[in-house]
Amino acid sequence: MRAIVFDRFGGPEVLRVAQMEPPRPGPGQVRLRVRAAGVNPLDHKIRDGAMQAVFPTSFPATPGLEAAGVVDEVGPGVAGLAVGDEVLALTDTGAYAEYALATVAARKPAEIDWDEAAALPVAGETAHRVLDLLAVGAGETLLVHGAAGAVGSLAAQLARARGAVVVGTASPRNHDYLRSLGVVPVTYGDGLVDRVREVAPQGVDAVLDAAGHGALPDSVALREGTTDRIVTIADPDAAQLGVTFSSGGRPTGELLAEIARAAVAGLLRITIAGRYPLDGASTAQARSATGHTRGKLVLRL
């Protein structure tokens, strides 16, 4: 099979297309013929070696955490999925490949295309996890830092579906996009606390930091000095500030199915910012690393 591999840590140039043996499914795993793979910021952070302590990588490595495709082989003990099923999945092996293994997978509804299905698992699971942690409810006000990104935009929409008012930070070019998601836009940077207070005089009940660009002190100020109900998924200063850092949930196929159903029902919209062929993986990761993607980048296989 064709797959992207890297043999050392470095910039996007370390990624190359290679011929590899397709992986074989073990107990509980299905193998997918991948049709689309999602590109996540974690992919380039792993590639450049920044995540080695948390996600140890051995070489050769294939990037990618999520994919959509067709089940072409089923390992022992798999219930509910069969050869020929179209699925979205969190992959156990690198998703930037023609074939990948997955333990966590769900049937892809026909209404969702391959790109959307590949873009939903990581951001959808993360958005679900953090909203549950924050216990956002109807009538409350949630502030989302990074609301135009993949996780931020899905979390904002899920919070809207729960009946919350959502204020989201983004650069001005994304403000109309945030409005289209039902989010009150605010520009990030100096003066943020005043701008949020202006659009949310009722106060902020919970904060999701999906950007990781130093907005936690402002978040604590907006929560009137408490770190209660503030969660970050990206700010390394969280522990120092006493703020909860959420990572790595326990996703299930049922959760992926629920996310896919929400997309079909129109409660979740994932914007595809760019589509690349497999050999465009380094370009896609370089774009992801700019930190200004609206929605999600995907590789088409």
Ligand X SMILES: NC(=O)c1ccc[n+]([C@@H]2O[C@H](COP(=O)([O-])OP(=O)(O)OC[C@H]3O[C@@H](n4cnc5c(N)ncnc54)[C@H](OP(=O)(O)O)[C@@H]3O)[C@@H](O)[C@H]2O)c1
What residues line the site for ligand X (CB under 6 A)? 40-42, 122-123, 126, 145-146, 148-152, 169-171, 174, 188, 210-213, 233-234, 246-247, 288, 291-294
Long-range contacts of 191-197 (CB under 8 A, 24+ apart): 192/218, 193/218, 193/221, 193/222, 196/143, 196/167, 196/222, 197/222
Q: Could you give the residue ranges of the DSSP H alpha helices within 242-294? A: 253-264, 281-289
CA 17 vs CA 6, 80, 246, 266, 278: distances in Å? 9, 33, 33, 37, 8
Q: How far is the CB of 110 from ligand X (least distance, A)?
A: 26
The helix (run of H) or strand (run of E) holding residue 197 is: helix 192-199
Nearer residue to ligand X within complex by CB, 145 or 195: 145
State the residue number with the nearest CB to ligand X.
Answer: 149
Nearer residue to ligand X within complex by CB, 123 or 134: 123
Count of CB atoms situated within 10 Å of the CB of 163? 11
Nearer residue to ligand X within complex by CB, 206 or 210: 210
Q: Which residue has the tokens 């003990």?
A: 77
Nearer residue to ligand X within complex by CB, 22 or 249: 249
Q: How far is the CB of 132 from ligand X (least distance, A)?
A: 13
Q: Which residue has the tokens 């950007």?
A: 211
Nearer residue to ligand X within complex by CB, 26 or 49: 49
Q: How far is the CB of 142 from ligand X (least distance, A)?
A: 15
Q: How far is the CB of 268 from ligand X (least distance, A)?
A: 14
Q: How far is the CB of 154 from ligand X (least distance, A)?
A: 8
Q: How far is the CB of 290 from ligand X (least distance, A)?
A: 8
Nearer residue to ligand X within complex by CB, 17 or 51: 51
196 burial (CB, 10 Å; 0-12 / 13-18 / 19+) is buried
Contact of 70 with 32, CB cutoff 8 Å:
yes
Nearer residue to ligand X within complex by CB, 99 or 188: 188
Nearer residue to ligand X within complex by CB, 108 or 287: 287
CA 49 vs CA 56, 206, 227, 283: distances in Å? 9, 33, 31, 18
Annotate 226-251 with b (16+ C-beta within 10 A) or e (fewer): ebebbbbbbbeebeeeebbbbeeeeb
Beta strands at 230-232 and 244-245: parallel, antiparallel or unpaired: parallel
Q: Which residue has the tokens 């990781």?
A: 212
Q: How far is the CB of 211 from ligand X (least distance, A)?
A: 4
Q: How far is the CB of 120 from ligand X (least distance, A)?
A: 12
